[in-house]
């Protein structure tokens, strides 16, 4: 569902990505680890079409990024979810759903928010009163509403307390069970082992390691991470 073939990118002569290749199938969660500047966000931005790659190929499903329109297949949840604080949760969901070409009834919007475990009493509260974890749930609801097949996330557990992190992990596993693909850039080694099906480690634009999450524990991954970077 998601494929990179020898993707490269440079900024003013400085290599950001060098021959990055990977595949992610339906129902899989790819957790990408690496230091700041390693190339994690650049990889996401290329797949979202925010920046152009210099070489290689990137595919979402059967469509090639940069040649075909892949917007309808993808959704993006950044570290800080960009929503309107003066609108309620359900109003934000309605607005962004309409932008994506969907027109849901109030009951349908409520049902989508409920799928993300956002409490019903919060649906009609303004976003300005939401915690980061609650805002993320609305972001995930937007991804569900537009029926995105691939959901990109950038540092989604940064700043979350343990309870919110646990809730987030549960939601991601439910999305994967629905057949969604999740591609996540993260610094959270323990959550990567708990949540991911595949873990990658980037160093200076190179995907230096790719391994199955069920073949390693957090302690060994932490050691491998430190040795790699």
pLDDT in tens, 4-57: 999 999 999 899 999 999 999 999 999 999 999 999 999 999 999 999 999 999
Say what the pLDDT of residue 128 is.
95
Whether residue 80 has pLDDT greater than 90: no
Whether residue 107 has pLDDT greater than 90: yes
Domain count, the chain: 1
- Work out the pLDDT band at 192, boundaries 50, 70, 90: very high
Say what the pLDDT of residue 143 is.
93
Angle (nearest 5°) at CA 74 between 179 and 39:
105
Q: CA-CA distances (angstroms) from residue 60 to 9, 36, 63, 74, 225? A: 18, 25, 5, 8, 28
- HEC-encoded secondary structure of the chain: CEEEEEEEEEECCEEEEEEEEEEECCCCEEEEEECCCCCHHHHHHHHHCCCCCCEEEEEECCEEECCECCHHHEEEECCCCCCCCCCEHHHHHHHHHHHCCCCCCHHHHHHHHHHCCCCHHHCCCEHHHCCHHHHHHHHHHHHHHCCCCEEEEECCCCCCCHHHHHHHHHHHHHHHHCCCEEEEECCCHHHHHHHCCEEEEEECCEEEEEEEHHHCCHHHHHHHHHHHC
Whether residue 82 has pLDDT greater than 90: no
Mean pLDDT in residue range 105-131:
95
Find the domain containing 91 and state its range. 2-228
User: What CATH number is associated with residue 174?
Assistant: 3.40.50.300
Mean pLDDT in residue range 195-206:
96
Render pLDDT for 89-98 as a digit per residue (tens, 0 to 9).
999 999 999 9
**Distance between CA atoms of residues 67 and 195, nearest Å:** 32
Whether residue 157 has pLDDT greater than 90: no
Close Cβ partners of 187 (under 8 Å, ≥ 6 residues apart): 33, 155, 158
| C-beta separation of 35 from 188 below 8 A | no
Whether residue 123 has pLDDT greater than 90: yes
Closest by CA position to 29, among listed 179, 164, 205, 201: 179
pTM for the structure as a whole? 0.92
């Amino acid at each position: 569902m998601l494929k990179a073939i020898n993707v490269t990118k440079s900024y003013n002569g400085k290599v950001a990505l060098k021959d990055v290749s990977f595949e992610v199938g339906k129902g899989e969660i790819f957790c990408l680890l690496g230091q700041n500047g390693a190339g994690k966000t650049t990889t996401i931005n290329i797949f979202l079409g925010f920046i152009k790659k210099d070489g290689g190929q990137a595919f979402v499903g059967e469509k090639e990024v940069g040649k075909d329109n892949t917007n309808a297949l993808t959704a993006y949840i950044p570290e800080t979810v960009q929503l309107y604080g003066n609108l309620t949760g359900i109003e934000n969901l309605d607005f962004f759903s309409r932008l994506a070409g969907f027109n849901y009834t109030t009951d349908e919007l409520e049902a989508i928010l409920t799928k993300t475990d956002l409490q019903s009493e919060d649906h009609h509260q303004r976003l300005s009163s939401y915690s980061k974890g609650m805002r993320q749930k609305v972001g995930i609801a937007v991804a569900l509403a537009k029926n995105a097949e691939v959901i990109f996330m950038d540092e989604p557990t940064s700043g979350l307390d343990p309870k919110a992190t646990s809730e987030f992990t549960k939601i991601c596993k439910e999305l994967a069970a629905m057949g969604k693909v999740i591609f996540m850039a993260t610094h959270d080694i323990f959550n990567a082992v708990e949540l991911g099906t595949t873990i990658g480690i980037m160093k200076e634009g190179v995907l230096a390691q790719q391994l199955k999450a069920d073949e390693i524990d957090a302690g060994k991954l932490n050691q491998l991470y430190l040795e790699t970077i």
